[in-house]
Amino acid sequence: MTVGNKRRQPTLAQLRAFAAVAEHLHFRDAAAVIGMSQPALSGAVSALEDTLGVTLLERTTRKVLLSPAGERLAVRARAVLDEVAALMQEAEAVRAPFTGALRLGVIPTVAPYLLPTVLNLVHERYPDLDLQVHEEQTASLLEGLTGGRLDLLLLAVPLGVPGIVELPLFDEDFVLVTPSDHWLGGRDGVPREALKELNLLLLDEGHCLRDQALDICREAGRGIKGAGRSPSAEGGGGRREGAPVTTTAAGLSTLVQLVAGGLGCTLLPRTALKVETTRSSRLLTAYFADPAPTRRVALAMRAGAARGGEYTELAAALREALRPLPVRVLGATG
């Protein structure tokens, strides 16, 4: 009986090396990303070419290009690697719930104010869970979640992204933070229309809180053509008609200090108020008339996530842990 020769199969290491080069088109960068030496990386790609019997890369002295075959097979290689990662995640979830790594992405306007509650909950209830926190802006977090770099997100919603399931946690009001000598400082029942008269300081572009604040301004009937960087200031708490929206800071802490210095007013979510406004005696808080402008915060996961049951249970536990905060905790369906 004659047995035909079996074709060699690519190894995962070879596919991983090729996928990295296909993404970065640079051997040194690809090697650094996957933790492999350049010679080993080059050898793995050459071995894959030999196994498949095709040329995947066009190498020159200056750059690396994908061949036509390489462009087609790079998609397949990435799909294989994604499936292997999903297989490992599924196996980890089956072994035991709330164990292993959980890569949690959090937006900067939530992280400083909710993480103490999250970390305390995980420490007390899920001691075997290896929680790894990544603070990034929303667009980067969504890319990380859909690409498999992150497992779960804690951020403002709605996202409106197909394939992402939102687990609502709470709604919270926005409040107005002013200099201590401002005409609105310390007032209750401030109408939203008052925003049309303020020099409003906002976060830089890319922060979802900036977009939410601009939406509030639109709802108040305020034009936002002046939403670029502007050095103009309100100064001495004076009242100004049609003052521009002014982008001035990359973080809420800096934003609040600029308010304390009399450069304008800003909007803060209630969860940030205690942390940010106790750093200066030159600040006052004003509360909006009902219904106050709000934001919703939720956990977000991939639809069909292997650990979806765990994430849903975590959301329920987190809702209970968040009740002492100045928020309106939501049910499982929002």
Tokens of residue 18, six digits: 């090729």
Q: What is the pLDDT of residue 231?
A: 31
Give 10-residue mean pLDDT values along the chain (334 residues): 63 94 90 91 93 90 86 94 86 77 94 95 93 94 93 93 95 93 91 84 77 77 48 34 58 89 90 89 92 92 92 96 95 66
Is residue 19 one of the residues assigned to a domain? yes
Q: Do 199 and 156 share a structural domain?
A: no
What is the pLDDT, as a whole number, of residue 225? 44
251-255: long-range contacts, CB 8 A cutoff, minimum separation 24? 251/108, 251/203, 252/108, 252/109, 252/112, 252/203, 252/209, 252/276, 253/279, 255/201, 255/202, 255/203
Give the up-direction half-sphere exposure of residue 227: CA atoms within 13 A in the CB hemisphere.
15
Q: Which residues contact 245 (CB under 8 A, 6 or more apart)?
A: 200, 202, 214, 217, 222, 224, 226, 227
The phi and psi torsions of 296 (rounded to 5 degrees) equal -110, 135
How many distinct structural domains can be found in the chain?
3
- The answer to whether the beta carbons of residues 165 and 308 sit under 8 Å apart is yes
Smallest Cα–Cα separation from 103: which of 139, 143, 144?
Answer: 144
Identify whether 36 is part of a domain: yes
Name the pTM for this structure.
Answer: 0.67
Residues 6+ apart with CB under 8 A from 272: 109, 112, 113, 252
**Which CATH number belongs to the domain containing residue 42 in this structure?**
1.10.10.10
> Which pLDDT score, from 0 to 100, does residue 246 have?
58
The CATH number of whichever domain residue 185 belongs to comes to 3.40.190.10
Residues 113 and 185 in one domain: no
Could you tell me which of 229, 234, 235, 276 has the C-alpha nearest to residue 249? 229
Domain-located, residue 268: yes
- Same domain for 182 and 264? yes
Within a domain: 102: yes
**What is the distance between the alpha carbons of residues 72 and 65, in angstroms, rounded to a whole number?**
13
Please, what sign has the CA dihedral across residues 71, 76, 81, 83? positive
What residues have CB less than 8 Å from 230, skipping those under 6 apart?
244, 246, 247
Domain boundary among 93, 111, 126: 93
What domain range is 27 assigned to? 12-93
pLDDT, position 251: 85
Tell me, what's the pLDDT at 2?
43
Decide: 229 and 210 in contact? Cβ < 8 Å. Answer: no
Continuous segment of H or E residues that includes residue 112: helix 111-125
Q: Facing residues of 285 across strands?
A: 177
Task: Please tell me whether residues 265 and 317 are part of one structural domain.
Answer: no
Cα–Cα dist 173/277, whole Å? 16
What whole-number distance in Å separates Cα of residue 327 and Cα of residue 145?
Answer: 26
